[in-house]
């Protein structure tokens, strides 16, 4: 029994026992359901082994939505705990665990896969390619992310959740102060999913640089593709730093090295330093693709081309460079001198300039446009003022002298939620609504969608704006309770109400999906929004080869030109099509990675060695495999095109 004691939860509560039961029942229900409906074969053939960028994209998005709800429950629990002074709803330890998992889940396992989902689904369609450059690597990326996310999520029922904050600062995250395996989960799960992110970065850069349709020069790429390229360049630049930092942190925790200890020559501040060398560019990895989505949506629903294309591209490139030069603004108060603080202050404030350029470009795109107030457009219009407030408070935080007042207060919490929710979450929901008809062949209900938008916007303002005030009044971040005499009570209650309204908004999204599956009309064609770029030029549902004929590109908006200016999009005849084969290896490899990670977390070394050998066996088997893909015959292409309503002209 001694062996199994390590898997026990150090701080159990009825809620955790209840979730154990729920998780067990869900797993049993899924297995029973798959067996009863005889879907195991279907699941394996069509999804687990797929290398199709569209299916991988969908799986990313579905995982992201599930994680959104997981992180959302953490958020509601936090707001409920803080709603009243001296609340006894959660104890300090549980509060520590939920704010840690809320942060990690929302950034790493919600926002990242959401943008990866859109990149996967949209980019090959936007550049007229048949798949990404390395389809099987793409599958490995997804499954590594998925296994990392699952490993992180089982922490709260096996062994205990991490509790040192999503930034996991040492020495708090060291073994001296975080004895449970929780922080091991953090280190290993992020390591595994981070490997996946790095591979996606390489894959997307290669895809965009090498596989664009003929005629599409770099400066004729759609804005979302540009934002993807820049974001993935940042990924390749900074994820290695996270990899190294996590490896050093893991060694500190498991092998008693002294990288981040406060004795024996270690330097705990180095963790914060390395974490933010990755961490600050990371927020631009999230926001740039969101900007790309907004650009597509605002241009489509203003019925105009995007204003200031060149300056949009230039500002993204400048943001990507500056994003790597600002990391110290996360720890202005750590004790370095005025010279370095001033340097990082100035670089941080400089980022507001290219971002401002983008804001004005969106406004000018709408200027004198024929605006259609659809749900994606509502999110985009709501984003502009809300995000600008987040940006302005960001410049306030960037002033290092003033930051001594704001540092580690709820003001900061309000600021980054104010950029991430209208910036990233709204963009993801706008993108989901916008691309939903391309993905599933029907539209989401507009009326419910508008209700959702208003619930989320009003809920957001109520939930986060009070934090600016309590933060300036001195309410510290991550404090699990406060006394009544502080006077934080009423505003925190308002925050809780706002969070509740946001929760209603997220439930409405689920209801909208259910409602639209049942009632939405299916005969909407392949271009329901009257859009402008290539992804709308192919059939809905998208055939596995995307485009039967490689499109010819003449401008930034080839599809619009084909509709309005008689541009011939598909000049060539049909040919047989070369496609990659499915493979079970990515799933198997990642499953072994899961076992590897799990045994690493609990330091079960024999299993670690076996799993490591398994990983190398998978890599070696790839070297001996001879897989040249397959051809879809001309007859089959013709048949598919006929069924989907004739080859596109």
- Binding residues vs other proteins (CB under 8 A): 237-238, 241, 267, 269-270, 273, 277, 324-325, 327-328, 335-337, 339-340, 343
Q: How far is CA 597 from the centre of its chain?
A: 22
For other proteins, the closer CB: 329 or 567: 329
Q: Which two tokens stand for residue 380?
A: 């985009």
CB of 328 to other proteins, least distance (A): 6
Q: Which two tokens stand for residue 466?
A: 């009070």
Q: Which two tokens stand for residue 489?
A: 């009570």
* Range list of β-strands (E), 260-397: none
Instruction: Give the C-alpha separation, 498 to 503, whole Å.
Output: 9
First to last CA, the chain: 69
Contact predicate 186/161, CB 8 Å: no
For other proteins, the closer CB: 105 or 238: 238
CB of 580 to other proteins, least distance (A): 22
Q: Which two tokens stand for residue 623?
A: 């070297």
Identify the three-state secondary structure at position 75: helix
Residues 330-363 as b/e (b if ≥16 CB within 10 A, e otherwise) read bbbeeeeeeeebeebbebbbbbbebbebbbebbe
The structure tokens 């996360």 sit at: 330
For other proteins, the closer CB: 239 or 570: 239
For other proteins, the closer CB: 19 or 336: 336
Instruction: Give the C-alpha separation, 624 to 626, whole Å.
Output: 6
CB of 326 to other proteins, least distance (A): 10
Give one word for 147, left, alpha or beta, with left for phi > 0 and alpha for psi -120 to 50. Answer: alpha
DSSP per residue over 39-51, as a string?
-HHHIIIIIIT--
For other proteins, the closer CB: 210 or 447: 210
Four-CA torsion 516, 521, 523, 525, nearest 10 degrees: -50
Contact predicate 581/555, CB 8 Å: no
The structure tokens 């919490």 sit at: 413
For other proteins, the closer CB: 273 or 526: 273
For other proteins, the closer CB: 209 or 363: 209
For other proteins, the closer CB: 121 or 331: 331
CB of 144 to other proteins, least distance (A): 22
- Length of the chain in residues, anyone? 649
- Return the closest-CA partner of residue 390 out of 362, 350, 421: 421
CB of 320 to other proteins, least distance (A): 12
Q: Give rounded-to-5 percent helix, strand, coil for the chain.
A: 70, 0, 30
Q: Which two tokens stand for residue 16?
A: 């955790």
For other proteins, the closer CB: 344 or 594: 344
Identify the three-state secondary structure at position 588: helix
Q: Which two tokens stand for residue 48?
A: 């687990």
Instruction: Give the C-alpha separation, 594 to 143, whole Å.
Output: 10
For other proteins, the closer CB: 254 or 321: 321
CB of 405 to other proteins, least distance (A): 21
CB of 338 to other proteins, least distance (A): 8
Give backbone dihedrals phi and psi of 476, rounded to 5 degrees, phi first: -80, 150
For other proteins, the closer CB: 152 or 278: 278
CB of 640 to other proteins, least distance (A): 35
CB of 547 to other proteins, least distance (A): 26
CB of 337 to other proteins, least distance (A): 4
CB of 269 to other proteins, least distance (A): 7
């Amino acid at each position: 029994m001694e062996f199994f004691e390590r898997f026990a939860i150090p701080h159990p509560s009825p809620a955790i026992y209840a979730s154990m039961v729920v998780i067990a029942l869900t797993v049993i229900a899924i297995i029973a359901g798959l067996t009863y409906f005889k879907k195991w074969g279907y699941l394996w053939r069509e999804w687990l082994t797929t290398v199709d960028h569209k299916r991988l994209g969908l799986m990313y998005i579905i995982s992201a939505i599930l994680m959104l709800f997981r992180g959302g429950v953490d958020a509601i629990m936090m707001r409920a705990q803080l709603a009243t002074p001296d609340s006894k709803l959660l104890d300090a330890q549980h509060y520590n665990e939920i704010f840690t998992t809320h942060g990690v889940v929302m950034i790493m396992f919600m926002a990242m896969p959401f943008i990866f989902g859109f990149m996967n689904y949209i980019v090959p369609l936007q550049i007229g390619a048949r798949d990404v450059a390395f389809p099987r690597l793409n599958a490995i990326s997804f499954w590594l992310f998925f296994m990392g996310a699952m490993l992180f999520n089982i922490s709260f029922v096996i062994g205990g959740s991490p509790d040192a904050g999503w930034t996991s600062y040492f020495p708090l995250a060291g073994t001296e102060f975080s004895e449970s395996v929780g922080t091991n989960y953090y280190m290993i799960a992020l390591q595994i999913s981070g490997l996946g992110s790095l591979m996606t970065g390489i894959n997307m850069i290669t895809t965009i640089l090498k596989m664009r349709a003929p005629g599409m020069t770099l400066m004729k790429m759609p804005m979302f593709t540009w934002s993807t390229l820049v974001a993935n360049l940042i990924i390749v630049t900074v994820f290695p730093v996270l990899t190294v930092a996590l490896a050093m942190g893991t060694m500190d925790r498991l092998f008693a090295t002294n990288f981040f200890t406060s004795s024996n020559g270690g330097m705990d501040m180095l963790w914060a330093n390395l974490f933010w060398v990755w961490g600050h560019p990371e927020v631009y990895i999230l926001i740039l693709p969101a900007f790309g989505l907004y650009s597509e949506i605002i241009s489509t629903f203003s019925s105009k081309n995007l204003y200031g294309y060149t300056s949009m591209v230039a500002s993204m490139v400048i943001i990507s460079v500056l994003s790597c030069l600002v990391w110290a603004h996360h720890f202005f108060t750590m004790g370095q001198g005025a010279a370095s603080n001033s340097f990082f202050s100035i670089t941080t404030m400089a980022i507001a300039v290219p971002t401002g350029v983008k804001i004005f470009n969106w406004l000018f795109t709408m200027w004198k446009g024929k605006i259609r107030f659809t749900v994606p457009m509502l999110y985009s219009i709501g984003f502009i003022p809300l995000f600008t407030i987040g940006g302005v408070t960001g410049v306030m935080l960037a002033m290092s002298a003033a930051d001594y007042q704001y540092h580690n207060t709820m003001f900061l919490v309000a600021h980054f939620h104010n950029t991430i929710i209208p910036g990233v979450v709204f963009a993801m929901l706008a993108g989901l609504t916008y691309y939903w008809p391309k993905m599933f062949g029907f539209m989401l209900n507009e009326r419910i969608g508008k209700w959702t938008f208003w619930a989320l916007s009003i809920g957001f303002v109520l939930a986060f704006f009070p934090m600016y005030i309590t933060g300036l009044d001195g309410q510290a971040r991550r404090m699990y309770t406060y006394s009544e005499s502080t006077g934080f009570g009423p505003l925190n209650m308002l925050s809780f109400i706002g969070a509740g309204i946001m929760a209603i908004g997220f439930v409405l999204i689920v209801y909208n999906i259910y409602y639209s599956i049942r009632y939405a009309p299916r005969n909407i064609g392949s271009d329901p929004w009257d859009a402008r770029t290539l992804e709308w030029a192919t059939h809905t549902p998208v055939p596995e080869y995307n485009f039967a004929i490689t499109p010819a590109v003449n401008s930034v908006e080839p599809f619009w030109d084909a509709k309005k200016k008689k541009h011939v999009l598909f000049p060539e005849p049909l040919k047989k099509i070369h496609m990659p084969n499915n493979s079970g290896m990515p799933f198997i490899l990642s499953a072994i990675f899961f076992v590897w990670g799990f045994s690493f977390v609990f330091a079960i070394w024999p299993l670690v060695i076996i799993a490591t050998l398994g990983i190398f066996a998978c890599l070696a088997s790839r070297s001996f495999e001879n897989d040249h893909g397959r051809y879809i015959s001309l007859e089959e292409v013709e048949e598919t095109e006929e069924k989907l309503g004739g080859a596109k002209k």
